[in-house]
Structure 1
């Protein structure tokens, strides 16, 4: 590899890192509310002892089951990716290279699901035991299979594109692959609501009536163009209440869970709606997508730096392991392992940004509704219905917490509307 070729991934990585930082500074609301740090109320002033015991017991088990599953999944990916076992398996699969690569993606993804299935079963059992899940075991396994299929398709597209570009443009593949994969991130976020989400839920328009009129009034007040509000049939799977915004541009959707509409007082429903419209107002899905585009470009640049040394260290000397060679599909386990590691290492950054964005949406909801009591009642209800730990360990919240805690959100209400 010439010095020019070596410099390309370095330049890409640096440029993508700078772009990510600039986008994060400009687009992420780092100071979404006035004043200094929030002072959360005492947990025993918000929840009863029984509620705390129930949430703590469940969340402790769920937390460690989930973290152990993640570690097992990561270890499995690393065994295949960083030893000669992965390339040895690859050589036994059929050619040409694209068929071998596809077979490896299927094999690694399916086996990865199998090795973590016991943890998923334990977690599903806990959710059924605590009344969080209404899903039957056949339905659970069907969703698991469908999710695996979606993962296989998405991963196969990315891997085949990446390897194809490596083989066709061996000297400048990082720049081309980074551009193409970044475009796929953008396209994927755009089409996800219309191609993937309908596989898991049925959606219907929110019926005409007072609630729909109020939702449209809030959207108009906030300057959000809203062609429709959808209701998902989530109650057939879960007792938890939720809502979300997905897609952007012509595929943007505001989706409410049916059990949220059916079980919550109107003030709390409107607080949820205002929160989601806050996301829509600030194009938060697009913000996340643009950050994902920069991250994809950064990841490919970093891959360009790591791939040569890693393949030289772990490849079988007797095999053709060159990126452009006939056995280049043997890189698939290594690529998937690097992706798994990168995904875990990026969690603190992703979730730190997510918490800031969620806080801004909360501020929007409070300012729109001017209803502190409903907002506080909603946060209590959300925490109780999901059995969320109101005081998770600091490390866990930092790494895995995508939203502020219920106590932090209650304190936010006092700050925004009560000046406390």
Structure 2
């Protein structure tokens, strides 16, 4: 029986495999610890009178409590998460994955707050305004959550993405023509091919297709273009075109909207449970002092549903991989790209199963390479076995 390590040895050197495992062992403990600390903070505030007291510090006025309490909640979560995020960054810097200085990282954190704070405050104002005026607040809130999910999906490529990266049109040439030709052969209208200045932050490789209709564009990291062969870049883009072809963004948006609406309904049912309100030190949910309880219950729900979302994501990614193989008919280039991505991103080709099931959004590198080889055998396509990289 051939072990996983033996199969990985066909594609990676022992040093590359160990490097991926070392990064995984270094960064996952603070990642998990940060998530646990954030959840613990919300539970401590939401399931005790401490949260209500915190919001009450901002006076008796309804609006002041929402603004002050909401801002305090967002900032406290950020402060709790920062040490763990910094530790992850230190680990990734030691492995050569981070190129951005601490000042740039701090600016990115502030940019993130500039996005998250207005969204959080807007949501709190809407929820508590409805909760204070109608007994069917949950129905209107569910509808609003679904609409906001759809709007953010549409606006993110043109409003949010430029806040964190600069995009420039790819220079005319063979690669640009090849990528546009690939999209045309797939029957997908693409407006342009852009290059993201990812090298300001990282050495990791990536590409994606974003936007809808007239805003749809292929985006490639500059790190990918300076590292990978053109045929390998085409494989990444073909995979991303697979998401477009199967309407994964639209499906994901619809699924997210339905999930958000269902989540609100479930939250409403839980948040009217008297023992929880008593634990939080509030008489009724419409009191803005209950916002920490709302955040705690939402965080628990997100934690519980996370593995299911990851499983759905892995299924979607496997389908996009299959699409890339069918579109290009080049399993050798697909395998070479998976090798390059794993080595450049310092990925563990075969991470521990529990970790992957709970948090993995993509198939493992070993699974993706095995699927490509299986496809090659079933179709008779050429697949070179060039041995370990390096």
TM-score range, shorter chain: over 0.9
Which residue of the partner structure matches residue 329 of structure 2? 370
Q: 1:342 to 1:245 in 2, by over 3 A?
A: farther
Q: CA deviation at 1:338?
A: 1.6
Following superposition, the deviation at residue 40 of structure 1 comes to 10
Give the Cα separation in 1 of the matches to 2:277 and 2:42.
19
Aligned equivalents of 2:32 and 2:357: distance in 1? Answer: 14
Question: Contact between 1:40 and 1:408, CA under 8 Å: does it hold in 2?
Answer: no
C-alpha change, 1:252 and 1:155, in structure 2 (3 Å) is farther
When residues 137 and 415 of structure 1 are mapped into structure 2, their CA distance, relative to the original with a 3 A threshold, is: same
Q: What is aligned with 1:28?
A: none
Q: Does the 8 Å CA contact 1:97/1:329 hold for their aligned counterparts?
A: yes
Q: Does structure 1 residue 404 correspond to structure 2 residue 363?
A: yes
Query: What corresponds to 2:299 in structure 1?
Result: 340
Q: Output the CA distance in 1 between the equivalents of 2:355 and 2:130.
A: 38
* 8 Å Cα contact 1:174-1:301 kept in structure 2: yes
How much does 1:254 deviate? 2.6
- Give the superposition deviation at 1:315: 3.7
1:33 maps to none
Matched, 1:186 2:150: yes
Report the alpha carbon displacement of residue 99 of structure 1 after superposing the two structures with TM: 2.9
Instruction: Specify the SS of the correspondent of 1:134.
Output: coil
SS at match of 1:118: helix
Q: 1:252 deviation in Å?
A: 3.4
Distance 2:6 2:172 in 1: 39
Report whether the alignment pairs 1:119 with 2:84. yes
Please tell me whether the aligned partners of residues 203 and 231 of structure 1 are also in contact (alpha carbons under 8 angstroms): yes
Q: Would you identify which runs of 4 or more consecutive aligned residues in structure 1 move more than 6 Å?
A: none
Q: Distance in 1 between matches of 2:71 and 2:280?
A: 21
Distance in structure 2 (CA, Å) of the matches to 1:312 and 1:109? 21
Cα deviation 1:55-103 (Å, max 9, x = unaligned) = 1111111111111111011101111111100001111113532331122
Shift in alpha-carbon separation, 1:41–1:342, aligned structure 2, 3 A? farther
Cα 1:341–1:245 change in 2 (3 A) is farther
Query: How far apart are 1:141 and its partner, in Å?
Result: 1.3
Residue 322 (str. 1) matches residue 284 (str. 2): yes
Matches within 5 A, 1:297-308: 297-308=261-272
1:85 aligns with 2:50: yes
Counterparts of 1:113-262 in structure 2 under 5 Å? 113-169=78-134, 171-262=135-226
Once the two structures are TM-superposed, the CA of residue 287 in structure 1 deviates from its matched residue by 1.0
1:197-254, CA deviations, whole angstroms, 9 ceiling, x for partnerless residues?
1110001122221111111111111111111122110011100000123343444343
Counterpart of 2:383 in structure 1 is none
- The answer to whether 1:290 aligns with 2:249 is no
| Larger RCO, structures 1/2 (Cα 8 Å, 6+ apart) | 1
CA RMSD after TM alignment? 1.7
C-alpha distance in structure 2 between counterparts of 1:249 and 1:346, whole Å:
31
CA offsets, 1:152-188, max 9 Å, x none?
A: 122222222111111121x211111111111111111
Question: 1: distance between equivalents of 2:345 and 2:373?
Answer: 23
Q: Which runs of 5+ in 2 are unaligned?
A: 380-390
- Partner secondary structure for residue 298 of structure 1: helix
Q: 1:253 to 1:314 in 2, by over 3 A?
A: farther
Deviation at 1:148, TM superposition (A): 2.4
- The alignment of Structure 1 onto Structure 2 pairs a total of residues equal to 375
Match of residue 231 from structure 2: 267
- Where 2:10 maps in the other structure, the secondary structure is helix
| Partner residue of 2:338 out of 353, 367, 379 | 379
State the 1:323 CA deviation: 3.2
Q: How far has the Cα of 1:288 moved from its partner? A: 0.7
**Structure 1 residue 408: Cα displacement:** 0.5
Determine if contact 1:240/1:385 at 8 Å carries over to the other structure: yes
